[in-house]
């Protein structure tokens, strides 16, 4: 629990997260690695455990009572996901292993069917490797070109060159929010720009879906990928949403059970959506967990989560600058309205892994490294950064602990 009176906001929900109650060396821990993966509330843990204890059954193939009930729960979770992102229909929700698999599905299915020699797709300099490498693998095979949207000095996408870059492109695939800079992109505008150029808009919502309201209809996206484990759900479950007509036109990705209507020695026909893209036994327990995570997030309220993270961002920025001034470089927008509560930074010339090592000694858990964005780090002219990332259960006390621990870094590396 936040132990300062200035911890109002959502700190009441912190009690719901058992890992956050843990004491290490007799002291509270400060989990600031939520952009990597979020902690899990009791309701998610309980829903998965209750399902395995009381209702477990496979959902495809069998028609006994347990299977029918399990299938109802599985489809109910699909409905929750569809409502959460305002999909046009439940059939547009495809369960995958994670966002990475969802993006690979898009590249290998839509990309393989639609891209060839001379074609162009557009990505941005702030993409996660999950939205780079699948396209690079395919580009090598198919011979299309990848163009890159550069960044401005204030860590935004440079929209001035976007129309030119999109000329002749078949797809524009971009992250809705950077996992390093915290930048929230103008996603509606980016989708509109893609469509104006005749390209489809593929959105990596891994960092945005847990933190800001997602309305795929208002955004105007064609495809959206995200992971359950960053939004209070378990690992092993991701989502690909796509417009129904587009998903219908895409060939299957993985082949096997559950995704077929007919199979003969001479070939197969695909099952209707969403099964067409859900080959094999699905992650049933994880889907139930994701449904419970969405219930939890809805209970907190997406508007409240966003406001909480704006407040935390403002506070963190103010503390970084007032306590460390120019010694800390923050790679990301200064305006809390333009960013999420994810701060990647460097401290003087101290190696990020040294910083994170000392923070760890103070029970402050951050991540140091390239955060799966090597091209972005190259642009930032640094091999790695320290990243402190917050979520609905984070508090100003976590920020205070980070700042105090940074004092500890100074004590070791900057003798005064
Ligand atoms: C922006 C972004 N895209 C994609 C991914 C990949 O997510 P996952 O590892 O859950 O597949 C991440 C994970 O950090 C991410 O931050």
What pLDDT score does 7 carry?
64
Mean pLDDT (whole number) for 237-247: 98
Cross-strand pairs, 174: 203
Distance 249 CA to ligand 1 centre (A): 26
pLDDT tens digits, one per residue of 69-125: 999 999 999 999 999 999 999 999 999 999 999 999 999 999 999 999 999 999 999
Strands, E assignment, 180-290: 200-204, 223-227, 238-242, 260-264, 267-270
Tell me the C-alpha to C-alpha distance, in Å, between residue 243 and each of 73, 86, 88, 255.
Answer: 24, 12, 8, 21
59-68, 211-220, 267-276, 378-387: segment of lowest average pLDDT: 59-68
Distance 371 CA to ligand 1 centre (A): 9
Question: Is residue 416 very low, low, confident or very high in pLDDT (cuts 50, 70, 90)?
Answer: low
> What's the rounded Cα separation, in Å, for the pair 207 and 200?
21
Smallest CA-to-CA distance from 254 within 270, 265, 267 is with 270
What pLDDT score does 6 carry?
63
Mean pLDDT (whole number) for 392-402: 97
Q: Which residues of 152-175 are buried (b: 16+ CB within 10 A; e: fewer)?
A: eeebbbeeeebeebbeebbbbbbb
CB of 344 within 6 A of ligand 1: the answer is no
> What's the rounded Cα separation, in Å, for the pair 175 and 99?
11
What pLDDT score does 102 carry?
98
Is pLDDT above 70 for 8?
no
Cβ atoms within 10 Å, residue 378: 12
Is pLDDT above 70 for 263?
yes
Peptide bond into 274 cis (omega under 30): yes
For residue 99, which atom of ligand 1 is closest to its CA? Answer: 11
232 a catalytic residue: no
CB of 227 within 6 A of ligand 1: the answer is yes
For residue 102, which atom of ligand 1 is closest to its CA? Answer: 11
Mean pLDDT (whole number) for 233-248: 98
pLDDT tens digits, one per residue of 156-211: 999 999 999 999 999 999 999 999 999 999 999 999 999 999 999 999 999 999 99
- Average pLDDT of the chain is 96
For residue 37, which atom of ligand 1 is closest to its CA? Answer: 14
Distance 226 CA to ligand 1 centre (A): 7
Is pLDDT above 90 for 235?
yes
Mean pLDDT (whole number) for 217-237: 98
Is pLDDT above 70 for 4?
no
Strands, E assignment, 49-119: 93-96
pLDDT tens digits, one per residue of 281-332: 999 999 999 999 999 999 999 999 999 999 999 999 999 999 999 999 999 9
> What's the rounded Cα separation, in Å, for the pair 166 and 204?
18
Cβ atoms within 10 Å, residue 42: 14
What pLDDT score does 60 carry?
83
Considering just the CA atoms, what is the radius of gyration of the chain in Å? 22
Distance 130 CA to ligand 1 centre (A): 6
Mean pLDDT (whole number) for 391-400: 97
What pLDDT score does 1 carry?
39
What pLDDT score does 189 carry?
98
């Amino acid at each position: 629990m936040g132990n300062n009176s200035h911890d109002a906001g959502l700190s009441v929900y912190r009690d719901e997260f058992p890992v956050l109650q843990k004491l290490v060396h007799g002291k509270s821990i400060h989990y600031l690695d939520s952009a990597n993966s979020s902690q899990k509330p009791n309701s998610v843990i309980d829903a998965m455990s209750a399902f395995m204890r009381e209702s477990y059954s496979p959902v495809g193939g069998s028609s006994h009572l347990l299977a029918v009930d399990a299938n109802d729960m599985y489809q109910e979770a699909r409905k929750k996901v569809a409502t959460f992102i305002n999909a046009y229909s439940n059939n547009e929700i495809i369960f995958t292993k994670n966002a990475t698999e969802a993006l690979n599905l898009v590249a290998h299915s839509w990309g393989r069917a639609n891209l060839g020699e001379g074609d162009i797709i557009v990505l941005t300099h702030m993409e996660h490797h999950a939205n780079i490498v699948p396209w690079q693998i395919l580009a090598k095979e198919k011979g299309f070109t990848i163009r890159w949207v550069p960044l401005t000095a204030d860590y935004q996408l440079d929209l001035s060159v976007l129309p030119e870059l999109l000329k002749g492109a078949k797809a524009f695939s971009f992250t809705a929010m950077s996992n390093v800079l915290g930048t929230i992109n103008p996603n509606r505008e980016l989708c509109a720009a893609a469509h104006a150029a005749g390209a489809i808009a593929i959105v990596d919502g891994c960092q945005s879906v847990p933190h800001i309201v997602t309305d795929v209809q208002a955004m105007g996206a064609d495809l959206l990928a995200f992971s359950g484990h960053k939004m209070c759900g378990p690992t092993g479950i991701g989502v690909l949403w796509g417009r129904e007509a587009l998903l219908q036109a895409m060939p299957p990705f993985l082949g096997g059970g559950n995704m077929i209507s007919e199979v003969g020695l001479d070939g197969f026909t695909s099952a209707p959506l969403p099964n067409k893209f859900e080959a094999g036994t699905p992650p049933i327990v994880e889907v139930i967990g994701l449904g419970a995570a969405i219930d939890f997030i809805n209970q907190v309220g997406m508007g409240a989560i966003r406001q909480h993270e704006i407040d935390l961002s403002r506070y963190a920025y103010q503390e970084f600058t007032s306590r460390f001034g120019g010694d800390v470089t923050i790679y990301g927008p200064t305006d809390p309205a333009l960013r999420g509560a994810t701060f990647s930074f460097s401290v003087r010339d101290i190696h990020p892994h040294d910083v994170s090592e000392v923070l760890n000694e103070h029970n402050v858990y951050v991540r140091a490294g390239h955060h799966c964005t090597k091209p972005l780090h190259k642009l930032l002219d640094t091999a790695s950064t320290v990243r402190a990332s917050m979520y609905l259960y984070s508090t100003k006390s976590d920020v205070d602990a980070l700042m105090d621990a940074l004092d500890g870094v100074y004590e070791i590396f900057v003798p005064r």
